Amino acid sequence: MATWTLRILWAGLFLVLGLCPKEAFPSEDPTPCRPERYSEEREKMVREQIQARGVKDGSVLRAMRGVARHCFVPREFRDEAYEDHPIPIGQGQTISQPYIVALMTELLRLKPSDRVLEIGTGSGYQAAVLSGLVKRVFTVEISAPLAEEAGARLKSLGYENIQVRRGDGYLGWKEHAPFDAIIVTAAPSEIPPPLLRQLKPGGRMCIPVGGRYQVQQLTLIEKKQDGSISKRAVLPVRFVPFLGDH
């Protein structure tokens, strides 16, 4: 556990050291992404980083094998796409470590009929993983450049059941609520009440919770049929901070 915990600290280090590009990586990429590349690296990622750490859900493993992660990072980082750490994607944001993406997805216990809300689209990678597991994915990104790029990228790669919106994720997406599951990829200091309200009874939310300089806890929330909420801390993590006017 100590090894991968240190790896996820890379996200914070990228920000501290100023290694994140200031702009989102361009859609007009002179070196177009070829999804069929890096198949051996992708299989090794699943086997050594994800299965070896205890993720067992076959549908999640297939989804991780099926999404070309290198198409969701800037071209200068494509050779690192399947390594065991986050990668900067611009606007002070990162694409999460592969294991964390798989773990959070597995914790949601998704069904093919589910409608899922994602907060923090980033480059679109997590949404792409969810796409093959559920009926619809609604994803909200506060950064206009990242939202625009992610929408174009997902469309170009053929993901048709994902809807991207630029907005404040704290507010969720009321027009499409309630959701069977909610996944949050940035850390608020407290769980946003609007997201709890938009979670369907019987639904699950996976969210990192903790301030910028605090130990964050990946937290699993379950909303029971009577509307009551249960929370369980899963493990310590390090995510970029939740942004917005709240």
pLDDT in tens, 118-127: 999 999 999 9
Residue 33 identity (one-letter amino acid): C
The answer on pLDDT for 12 being more than 70 is no
pLDDT tens digits, one per residue of 130-145? 999 999 999 999 999 9
Band (99; pLDDT cuts 50, 70, 90): very high
Decide: 191 and 223 in contact? Cβ < 8 Å.
Answer: no
Average pLDDT over residues 143-151: 96
Report strand pairing: 229-237 vs 216-223. antiparallel
pLDDT, position 209: 95
Q: CA 204, CA 41: separation in Å to the nearest integer?
A: 31
Q: Regarding predicted confidence, which is higher, 10 or 203?
A: 203
pLDDT in the model for residue 31: 55
Residue 123 a catalytic site member: no
- What's the pLDDT band for 199 if we cut at 50, 70, 90? very high
Q: At 1, which amino acid appears? A: M
Greater pLDDT, 12 or 69: 69
Q: Which two tokens stand for residue 214?
A: 């605090």
Residue 118, beta-bridge partner list: 139, 183
C-alpha dihedral, 85 to 66 to 232 to 95, nearest 10°: 30
Global pTM value:
0.87
Which is the catalytic residue, given 27, 39, 96, 189? 96
Confidence (pLDDT) at 2: 39
Q: Which amino acid is at 164?
A: V
The pLDDT-based confidence of 212 (bands split at 50, 70, 90) is: confident
Distance CA 153, CA 161 (A): 13
Predicted confidence band of residue 245 (pLDDT cuts 50, 70, 90):
low
String of b and e for 40-75 (b: at least 16 CB within 10 Å)?
eebeebbeebbeeeebebeebbebbeebbbbbbbbe
Residue 171 has pLDDT above 70, yes or no: yes
Across the beta sheet with 179-184, the strand order is: 162-166, 136-141, 115-119, 179-184, 199-209, 216-223, 229-237
